[in-house]
């Protein structure tokens, strides 16, 4: 098989993306557009800045085990290392890219005033972090594996354990958002949001895989999640349903 050159054009595969209107995912009924979409050009200021750098990242921003914990204490739950690489359509690393995550705690509750779930709040877990990719496009977070939680979509619908991921380019307008799931979770196949994705292969690209080689003995389990920004088989980004 001939490896594509960096200049090759990658046709958009619209079957890869879920429809905006998916009745089984109830909030899509009211949020989906009813009229043809309009394409708005970005202004120069929107696509040229700001550029994020090391000065925007504090020491420990990517360590959710400690960045909200009181001195000498730790959050409750399964300790995990989440790592991977940000790549372009030709598997080349994308360096110096801001990656942010946010998530529920081990009981399935977010630290948010509007989260009314009865799961306990953890005083030592804030649930958000950020980091910059290195020269090889690599990123890593230490965190807690989030818990599943119920949501008011159906009588007994539960969100699988998941972590929200945001990737910035060189400007606020260049932002992609998705969420990752965890290998082996039986709730993935039952999730109405996941089931809006028509291609099973696209679902598989949203699942972080157990990485036993990076697991830290007697400390934490590792999961790997690579993010592909463009191309026919890019990672699905929920804020860019129309494609890349």
Residues tagged active-site: 110, 149, 159, 162, 164
Cα dist. 125→73, 77, 139 in Å? 10, 10, 20
Tell me the DSSP string of 77-104: S-EEEEEEEEE-TTS-B--S-EEEEEE-
Distance CA 152, CA 133 (A): 36
Are the beta carbons of 193 and 149 closer than 8 angstroms? no
Which residues does 79 contact at the CB level (< 8 Å), separation at least 6? 65, 142, 143, 144, 145, 219, 220, 221
Helix (H) or strand (E) holding 202: helix 200-204
> How far apart are the C-alpha atoms of 110 and 76, rounded to whole Å?
14
Q: At CA 185, angle to CA 180 and CA 187, rounded to 5? A: 90
């Amino acid at each position: 098989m001939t490896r594509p050159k960096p200049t090759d054009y990658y046709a958009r595969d619209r079957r890869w993306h879920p429809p905006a209107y998916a009745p089984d995912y109830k909030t899509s009924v009211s949020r989906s557009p009813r009229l043809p979409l309009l394409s708005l050009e970005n202004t120069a200021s929107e696509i040229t800045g700001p550029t994020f750098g090391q000065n925007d990242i504090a020491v420990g921003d990517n360590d959710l085990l400690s960045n909200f914990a009181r001195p000498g204490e730790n959050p409750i739950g399964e300790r995990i290392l989440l790592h991977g690489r940000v790549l372009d359509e030709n598997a080349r690393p994308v360096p110096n890219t801001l990656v942010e995550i946010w998530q529920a705690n081990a009981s399935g509750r977010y630290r948010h005033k509007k989260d009314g779930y009865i799961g306990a709040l953890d005083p030592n877990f804030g649930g958000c972090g950020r980091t910059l990719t290195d020269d090889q496009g690599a990123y890593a977070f230490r965190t807690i594996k989030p818990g599943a939680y119920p949501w008011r979509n159906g009588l007994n619908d539960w969100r699988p354990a998941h972590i929200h991921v945001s990737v910035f380019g060189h400007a606020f307008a260049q932002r992609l958002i998705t969420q990752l799931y965890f290998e082996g979770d039986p709730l993935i196949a039952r999730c109405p949001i996941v089931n809006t994705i028509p291609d099973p292969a696209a679902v598989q690209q949203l699942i972080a895989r157990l990485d036993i080689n990076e697991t830290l003995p007697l400390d934490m389990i590792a999961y790997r999640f690579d993010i592909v920004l463009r191309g026919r088989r890019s990672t699905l980004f929920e804020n860019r349903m129309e494609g890349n």
